[in-house]
Chains A and B, each alone.
Chain A
Amino acid sequence: MNLLQRIYVFFVNFRDYIVFTALVMMSFSMISLGDFTSIGGFRASVVTLVGFINENILVIPNIAAIRQENQVLRELNMELSNEVTRNYLADKENAQLRKMLDLPKQTSNHLVFADVVGIEKIGNRTYLIINKGSNEELSFGMTVRTDAGLIGSITATSGPYAIVETIFNPDVKISVAIANSSLKGIVTWDGKTDLVLDNIPKTIPVEKNQEVVTSNFSSKFPPDVPLGFIRSVEVPKSSLFWKIIIQPYAMYNTVQQVAVVKELPDSSRINLIKEFFEIKLK
C-alpha cells in the first residue's frame, strides 16, 4: 500500500472521529470569535422573529403567573395607598424646603411602558422579551423595572421588540446601597431565587427587612431603584464578612408589564474609568 492508500484507509476507518474532532474545533473557533451574531442587522432580525413568535404564541395566558401577580399587586396597592398619604405630606414639606434653599426642581425619569411577550430560559440565564424596541428609541443598556423594583437591562433591540437581561443571571453585578444608611456593596444572583450582598464587614451593623436600592456608584443602573429587602443576615464560618440575602421585589416569572427607563449610562464616566485603568495597566 502506498502512502495515499494508507491515508485513505485511515480516513475511512476513523472517519467518525475525524468528523467529530473537526466539528469540535469549529465549535471552539466560533466560541473564540465571540458574539458574531451582533454583526449587521442579523441580531435585530432574530429579536424581531423571536418577539413576533412569542407575541403570537403567548395568546394563551399564563394563569398561575397572572394569579400570583394579582396577589402581589393587591398587597402593593394596600402599601401604596398608605404611602401616598405619607408622601403627599413629605412632598409638600420637601417643596417648601427646596424653595427655601433655592434648589432646582428634580425631574423624574422618562419611562416607556411595555408588555412582556415572552420569557427565554437558557440554562441558568433568563431573558424577557418585551413588545417595545428601537421604534420607541429603546437601546442597549437601558434599565428595565416594574412598579415593585428592578428587573434588568436591555441587551438587544429590533424595531418592535427588545430583549431584557434579567438580574437573575450569573454575569450581572449590581452596585447597591442599603436605604437609610451609607452602606454600599455589590449584589449578585445566588443561582436560585435570591440575591446576595457580600463583602460587608461584620463590624458594620446590618438589620433584617432593610430596603436595598441601586446606588449612585452604579455605571449601569440609575440610582434609587428599589431592588429588594434584606431577608436574612448570616456569618459564614471563619469569615469577617456578612452574607446578606436579599429577597427581590420583582420576580421575572410573574411580570406582565414593565417600564423602561429611557436613560443611558453616562458614557463619559465609563470612558474615564476605562482610560484610568488602561493607563494604570500600562
Chain B
Amino acid sequence: MYSLKELQIRNNKYLLYSIYFGFGILFGLMQISFIPLMVINDSIPNLVMLYAIWLVLREGRIIGYLSAFILGMIYDILTLQVVGVSSLSFLFAVLFAGIFYRKDKEFLILSSYRFILIVFIAALISNLIQNIFYLKLSDIDFWTTFIFKWLGNTVYTAVVATIPFFISFRNQISK
C-alpha cells in the first residue's frame, strides 16, 4: 500500500532511479565524511554497501546488481581505491542478498529481523573479497587482518542495518 505521492514517484521510473542515484552519491559522501566520526575500535559501517543490499531487496535482482556495480564505483572513486574492487565485492554481496528477494513481498523481508542477518552475511562475503584483494603480495596473515580490521566493519554494518529495519517495521505497522 503506497501513498499517492509514493505511487507517482514509483510510476515515473526516471524520477525513481534519479532519486536512488542521488541517495547513492549522498551515502558515498557520508561514508567519507560523517561515518569516520562513528569509529568504534577502528571499525566503521559501510553505508554504501548497506544501501546496495537494501536496493536489491527492495527493487529486485537486476536493479540490485546494477546498483551494486555503480555504488561500488562511486565508493572506489571517493575513497581513491582501485576502481572495480568494491564493485566486485558489492556484486557478490548483492548476489547473496538477492536470493531473499520476493516480488511484491519486499517489505516482509525489509521489516523482518532476517534483513539484519542478510546484511551481516552479505557484508561478510563482501569484506572477505576485499580482504583477498588488498592483501595480495602482502606478508600479513589473512585471518589476523580479517578479524582485526574487517569483522568489526561487518558487525557494525549489520548493527547500522537496524535503522532501515526499524523504519520498514514502523511503516509496516502503520499500514
The answer, yes or no, to whether A20 is at the interface (CB within 8 Å) is yes
Q: Give the segment of A1-9, A54-62, A138-146, A233-241 that binds chain B.
A: A54-62
Judging by beta carbons under 8 Å apart, are A170 and B138 in contact? yes
Cβ proximity bits B101-136 to A, threshold 8 Å, 1 near / 0 not: 000000000000000000000000001001101110
Residues of B within 8 A of A37 (CB): 76-77, 80, 83
On chain B, the residues within 8 Å of A57 by CB distance are 33-34, 37
Instruction: List residues 182-198 of chain A with CB under 8 A from any CB of chain B.
Output: 188-192, 198
Q: Decide if B145 is an interface residue (CB 8 Å cutoff).
A: yes
Q: What are the interface flags for B139-168 relative to A under an 8 Å C-beta threshold, 1 for contact and 0 otherwise? A: 111001100111001000000000000000
Instruction: Let me know if B66 is at the binding interface, CB within 8 A.
Output: yes
Q: Are A23 and B80 in touch, CB under 8 angstroms? A: no
How long is the Cα–Cα vector from A96 to B124 in the complex, in angstroms?
A: 63
Q: Render A17-55 as a binary contact track against B, CB cut-off 8 A, 1 for contact.
A: 001100110111111011111000001001101100110
A58 touches B80 (CB 8 A): no
In angstroms, Cα B166 to Cα A103, docked, is 73
Is B29 an interface residue when CB atoms closer than 8 A count as contact?
yes
CB-based contact A31/B98 at 8 Å: no
Instruction: Please choose the segment from A68-76, A104-112, A120-128, A254-262 that sits at the chain B interface, where 4 or more of its residues have CB less than 8 A away.
Output: A120-128
Asked whether, in the complex, the Cβ of A16 is within 8 Å of the Cβ of B65, the reply is: yes
B88 contacts chain A at the CB level, 8 A cutoff: yes
Given the complex, which residues of A lie within 8 Å of B9, measured CB to CB?
Answer: none
Q: Which residues of B contact A (CB under 8 A)?
A: 29, 32-34, 36-37, 39, 42, 44, 61-62, 65-66, 68-69, 72-73, 76-85, 87-88, 91, 95, 98, 127, 130-131, 133-135, 137-141, 144-145, 148-150, 153
Report B-chain residues with C-beta under 8 Å of the C-beta of A123.
127, 130-131, 134, 149-150, 153
**CB<8 Å pairs between A and B, sample of 6:** A16-B65, A50-B78, A121-B42, A123-B153, A124-B150, A170-B145
A positions within 8 Å CB-CB of B: 15-16, 19-20, 23-24, 26-31, 33-37, 43, 46-47, 49-50, 53-54, 57-58, 60, 62, 118-125, 127, 155-156, 163, 170-171, 188-192, 198, 253
Distance, CA A253 to CA B39, complexed state (A): 10
Q: Report the minimum CB–CB distance from B146 to chain A (whole Å).
A: 8
Q: Contact at B88–A24, with CB atoms within 8 Å?
A: yes
How close is B74's CB to chain A, nearest CB, in angstroms?
11
* A residues near B98, Cβ cutoff 8 Å: 16
Query: Which residues in B have their C-beta under 8 angstroms from that of A15?
Result: 62
Q: How far is the CB of B142 from chain A (nearest CB, A)?
A: 9
CB distance from A235 to the nearest CB of B (A): 18
Whether the Cβ atoms of B91 and A19 lie closer than 8 Å is no
Contact A60 B37 (CB under 8 A): yes
Which of B37, B44, B72, B145 is A191 in contact with, Cβ under 8 Å? B145
